[in-house]
Amino acid sequence: GQNPDQYVALWYQQGELVMGRIWNEGGKVAANFDWFNNEYKSNIGSIQVLVELPDQIRGFDYAWKTFKEAAVFGEKEWFPVHVEYHKGDISPCVLTVEGGKQILGKVDVRNERATVAFGGKEHIFVGPTVHPFMVLCRKARPGHKFD
């Protein structure tokens, strides 16, 4: 029942980075984040939103890749879009949950742990169960490089 046009958002809760999703709900920004086994979807406050820049000014191409492909260390073409902090390396992730429904959440590539909020709580997936999930990745275009 949610708008399928959702965007990756970053929220800070007590100094911790929390990745979630936002969408347009009747002209207002609706949000959904999971943190410490809870679902947060009202009175969120300040957020940052990942936006897609026009081709002519963008130095990277973006694509959704499986966790198994995104989590490879060493030489590779596609790298996860991520925010690294002391608890993990967090990337946007599309998780497939009960009934085959796909929901935008987050994955910690380093610790092989994905989470998403729905139904009033945080849902956690660990180990091999995260392998089929899709991770937002980027690759540098010719003439550009990662910092």
Tell me the pLDDT tens digit for each residue of 35-75.
888 888 877 888 989 888 888 888 999 999 999 999 988 88
Containing structural domain, residue 16: 6-140
**pLDDT at 86 > cutoff 80:** no
Q: What is the structure's pLDDT at 1? A: 62
Q: If you search the block for the tokens 């347009």, which residue do you land on?
A: 24
24 occurs within a structural domain: yes
146 occurs within a structural domain: no
Q: What is the structure's pLDDT at 74? A: 82
Number of domains in the chain: 1
Q: What is the structure's pLDDT at 129? A: 96
Tell me the pLDDT tens digit for each residue of 115-147.
999 888 899 999 999 999 999 999 989 888 777
